Amino acid sequence: MEHTVSLKQNHEFRRLYSKGKSAVSPYFVIYCRKTGRPVNRLGITTGLKLGNAVKRNRARRRLRELYRTCEGELVSGCDVVIVARSRVIYGRYDDLRRSFRQQMKKLGLLLSKEDKP
């Protein structure tokens, strides 16, 4: 992920949950907030309800890959937190990608065709 830094601080996650915009899908919930920084910051949350460590890590890998493949089409200068739901583990990747792009577009984070370099 070339233009993205990890979100790690608990207070940053809480700020996004309380003050950020959100979009919900059956696979995940996305919270975002514009920051004006030159790079995006990404945080991924997988709760214990998803299952054991193997399942949680699989969910994290899938979400990280979704973000990585769409990173070039996203607006920069935002904090993004993705909260995994249980369907993300077993869902088809095409469905996950379609849902991810839909939610990013809904939040205004997907660049239009005119804005792309």
pLDDT tens digits for 61-86? 999 999 999 998 999 899 999 999 99
Residue 115's pLDDT is 57
Residue 3's pLDDT is 73
Counting as low any pLDDT under 50, the low residues of the chain are none
Q: Bridge partners of 46?
A: none
Which phi and psi angles does 33 have, rounded to 5°? Answer: -155, 135
